[in-house]
């Protein structure tokens, strides 16, 4: 089922996700809904907090359009290692139409559970590393705008206010 993606400045985007105690049929359904919502948007990642579910879950698929799907599910993720720095032009489904340069770690190691509850560790770089950090931030109540300087924050704020005003009925 496609869920509604919260838009900035919705206060629920600032909620921290709580740890998932166990993988249940409800959690699996939420993961499926998140993947369907992300693909429909379309985006490369979606955190549970972006659809109003304050849980430590995100999904990512950075496969190119002409490649097969590479859906990755992260439940209770922890970034255990970071290395080097990179600046990447990021977008966010909660900030439609906005892209900004954000500095992040160039390489990360993340540990999480998959959709079945099995623990895995993933070493990522490039877009996958950026997406992991971006979605992990969402679970901490941290948004893309928090990585910007004051002037850029104000500009993004104004753009989102105008967009939200024109999109509301």
Catalytic-labelled residue, pool 15, 53, 100, 135: 135
Q: How far apart are CA 134 and CA 92, in angstroms?
A: 9
Point out which residues pair with 147 in neighbouring strands: none
Q: Give me the sheet containing 119-125, strands edge to edge.
A: 45-47, 57-60, 72-92, 95-113, 119-125
Which contacts of 89-94 are long-range, i.e. CB under 8 A and separated by 24 or more positions? 90/130, 90/134, 90/144, 91/43, 92/134, 92/143, 92/144, 93/5, 93/38, 93/41, 93/43, 93/46, 93/50, 94/5, 94/6, 94/7, 94/8, 94/10, 94/13, 94/50, 94/143
φ/ψ of residue 43, rounded to 5: -145, 175
**Residue 3 gets which letter from DSSP?**
P
Active site residue 78: no
Active site residues: 135
């Amino acid at each position: 089922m496609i869920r509604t993606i919260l838009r900035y400045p919705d206060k629920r985007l600032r909620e921290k996700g709580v740890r998932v105690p166990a993988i249940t049929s409800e959690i699996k359904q939420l993961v499926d809904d998140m993947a369907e919502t992300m693909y429909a948007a379309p985006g490369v990642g979606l955190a549970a907090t972006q659809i109003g579910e304050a849980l430590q879950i995100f999904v990512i698929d950075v496969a190119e359009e002409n490649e097969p799907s590479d859906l990755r599910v992260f439940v209770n993720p922890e970034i255990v290692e970071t290395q080097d720095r990179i600046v990447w032009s990021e977008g966010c489904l909660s900030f439609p139409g906005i892209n900004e340069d954000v500095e992040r770690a160039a390489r990360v190691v993340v540990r999480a559970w998959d959709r079945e509850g099995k623990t895995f560790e993933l070493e990522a770089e490039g877009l996958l590393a950026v997406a992991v950090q971006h979605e992990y931030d969402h679970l901490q109540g941290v948004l893309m705008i928090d990585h910007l300087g004051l002037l850029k924050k104000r500009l993004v704020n104004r753009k989102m206010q105008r967009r939200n005003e024109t999109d509301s009925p």
